[in-house]
Structure 1
Amino acid sequence: MPAILRIAWKVTFDALWHFSEDDGWAMASHVALSLLLAMFPFLIFGTAMASFLGADQFADTAVHLIFDSWPESIAEPISREVVQVLTIPRGGLLTVSVLAAAYFASNGVEALRVSLNRAYRVAETRAWYRTRLASLGFVIAGVLILAMVSVLLVAVPLAVTYAEKWVPQLSTVLEVVDSWGLAGVILLLVAGLFVSHLWLPAGRRKVMDVVPGILLTLAFWTVGAYGFASYLASFANYVSTYAGLASIMVALVFLYMLGAIFIIGAEFNAAIMKFKVKRLVLSSLRGRRRAGDHDEEARLKAAQ
């Protein structure tokens, strides 16, 4: 067997073995349920905060960014319910319900952190309040990013109109920004994956340490999403099984699949890093052995 295939086999076996040993399937269900439960509180808190900041298009932007990368058959029922929830008038930013929504939204981040700690085989050394505050920080940062994007969605079309009249040279660039579409969703998704792998779990990792797992995650997410959408269109009949809960069950199963792939991507990163460390240790031991043999030969020659 060629060396590259032997290495790939060892890494794959180690990643999948540890995924099973680390209760990966249970953690994937934990991530799926936590994200589904965190989705509405996050959007409620985000809408309240964005209206406070003057980003009135936050709801449309959030629905666009979150659900455009989902298959339409899965995203359409959930996004419709999300829009209905976000159009309900609420109080100010610091009301108890909105603060509670921020706290519950951070539970989704906490689920990702715990699953990544297991996947990267590290123990959490930070105090619980520090990790919770960090999770709240990620929630607020996500809201601010979506708020800025929603402002751009309003500002850029106006800039295109004025640019065509006053600065024609900039109109082409602004039109590209205005038609960002799916490319912007993918960019934010990749950025979110890098942030999750680098800063959520305990310990430190380099950017190149997490790239293989992120690429694997994106590839399998794409295949899994289209495969699951085809399955729903051709075979599944969740409505007859779950009645009014069909859309929630479909979303939950879909998030379960995404969560399992996300954790397996981290497991692959951990397996690759483990293999690199093992190779460094073995090469170091071989170097010392060769140095020892060389010294022994030198001593024998000197004795002669």
Structure 2
Amino acid sequence: MARSAGMSLAPRACSTTLASIASALLVGAGARALRRALGPRTGRPLPRRASTREQARPKQAAGWWEMLKRTYAEVNKDRVQAVAGGVTFYGLLSLFPAITVLVSLYGLIADPQSISLHLAALGTIVPEGGLTIIGEHVTRLTGADQSKLGIAAMIGLLVALWSANAAMKAMMEALNIAHDTEERRGFVVLNLVSLGFTLGAIICLIVMITAIAVVPAILALFNLGPLGDVLLWAGRWPAMLVLAGLALAVLYQWGPSRPDVAWRWVTPGSALASIALLVFSMLFSWYAANIANYNGTYGSLGAVIGFLIWMWLSTTIILVGAELNAVVEAAGRLQGTRSGDGGTRR
């Protein structure tokens, strides 16, 4: 029995170790990007970020502590938690149209009825109540006539995608607030960018769902036995960290209405936010399943309330990462101006 217990703990140990390594690499990348963006450390206070309401004061770039203090001040000034609540509202409205698009697209490459089984693998990072809400809607969609699903994919796909687009536009507006900028993109460009982000997020989710089904089958071909289980556990979390970091970097780069910036200016926020998102989601899912009693407080709405809280706090983490990037960008531009390169992208 001790031997079997040890074998069952081995995948978790390997997974935790590799996830820690991936987290360290992301933090290291963020730290290196921050040092490159700020230039040599002078120990002087961080410059204030220029906005439509106040002018920036010319101060020297500083280190991590001043950077975090300035980020905290910007989070309070921009009322990030209230803004995240607005994004969460639009996110809830967009959830079911997005699921419709997901089922329609997934049905083109695989059996849509298998989605519910694969989504259950996300139970570690998504609260159980949220998975229940999503699973019920997926069951209703996949229980329909397959010809109706085909018609929905051909006719209703664009309508559902447009409805799901509302959450992404709300997120992009929140990123504009974080960067103290106004929306300057026209109606067509704005909607093309937001639709691209929305469709990209859905495609990434389809890839994740497909990987959940395909990777174990591929490992089974090699007859690895317990080693295959170890590899599945060990590779899951680092892969999710890297995917989340890349997705956030792209969102931070092209989400706000401002010229493209150097990737080193969006790396600190994306690295820290991706790690914080994964850790928070795991802890909140455990808390919701073992400690919280939302049903006792909110009755039949308990699952919805728990899912909304998770969405709200996750959005807050993403926006805090954007605030950090905005502070890094402002300091990097000032340092670049003083060094003669104007803070240009490179």
Give yes or no for TM over 0.5: yes
Aligned partner of 2:12 in structure 1 is none
CA distance in 1 between partners of 2:215 and 2:308 (Å) = 35
Aligned partner of 2:332 in structure 1 is 276
- Given candidates 257, 263, 272, the residue that maps to 1:207 is 263
CA distance in 1 between partners of 2:333 and 2:202 (Å) = 38
Per-residue deviation at 1:243?
0.7
Q: Deviations over 1:235-275 (max 9, x none)?
A: 64321221111111111111111111111111011111212
SS in 1 for 2:175: helix
- Given candidates 82, 86, 90, the residue that maps to 1:30 is 86
Matches within 5 A, 1:1-304: 3=43, 7-54=63-110, 56=112, 59-60=115-116, 63=119, 67-70=123-126, 72-89=127-144, 90-91=148-149, 92=151, 93-96=153-156, 98-151=157-210, 180-202=235-257, 203-229=259-285, 232=288, 236-282=292-338
Instruction: Give the 3 Å change call, closer, same or farther, for CA 161–186 of structure 1 in structure 2.
Output: same
Query: Unmatched 5+ residue regions in structure 2?
Result: 1-41, 46-61, 341-346
CA distance in 1 between partners of 2:204 and 2:291 (Å) = 38
Instruction: Give the 3 Å change call, closer, same or farther, for CA 79–272 of structure 1 in structure 2.
Output: same
* Higher gyration radius (CA): 1
SS in 2 for 1:241: helix
CA distance in 2 between partners of 1:77 and 1:4 (Å) = 51
Runs of 4+ in 1 over 6 A off after TM superposition: none
Conservation of the 8 A alpha-carbon contact between 2:268 and 2:325: yes
Conservation of the 8 A alpha-carbon contact between 1:57 and 1:151: no
CA distance in 2 between partners of 1:223 and 1:54 (Å) = 31
Conservation of the 8 A alpha-carbon contact between 2:123 and 2:285: no
CA distance in 1 between partners of 2:187 and 2:283 (Å) = 39
Conservation of the 8 A alpha-carbon contact between 2:176 and 2:256: yes
Moved more, 18-27 or 149-158: 149-158
Instruction: Give the 3 Å change call, closer, same or farther, for CA 184–83 of structure 1 in structure 2.
Output: farther
The structure richer in helix per residue is 1
Per-residue deviation at 1:4?
8.8
Q: Percent identity?
A: 22
Conservation of the 8 A alpha-carbon contact between 1:50 and 1:58: no
Per-residue deviation at 1:208?
1.4
Moved more, 54-63 or 261-270: 54-63
SS in 2 for 1:129: helix
Instruction: Give the 3 Å change call, closer, same or farther, for CA 131–62 of structure 1 in structure 2.
Output: farther
SS in 2 for 1:259: helix
Q: CA RMSD for the aligned pairs?
A: 3.5
CA distance in 2 between partners of 1:257 and 1:82 (Å) = 23
TM-score of the superposed pair, with normalisation by structure 2: 0.66
CA distance in 2 between partners of 1:232 and 1:143 (Å) = 26
CA distance in 2 between partners of 1:232 and 1:56 (Å) = 28
Conservation of the 8 A alpha-carbon contact between 1:57 and 1:150: no
Instruction: Give the 3 Å change call, closer, same or farther, for CA 188–250 of structure 1 in structure 2.
Output: same
Per-residue deviation at 1:225?
3.3
SS in 2 for 1:192: helix
Instruction: Give the 3 Å change call, closer, same or farther, for CA 246–103 of structure 1 in structure 2.
Output: same
SS in 1 for 2:266: helix
TM-score of the superposed pair, with normalisation by structure 1: 0.74
Matched residues, number: 275
CA distance in 1 between partners of 2:205 and 2:269 (Å) = 25
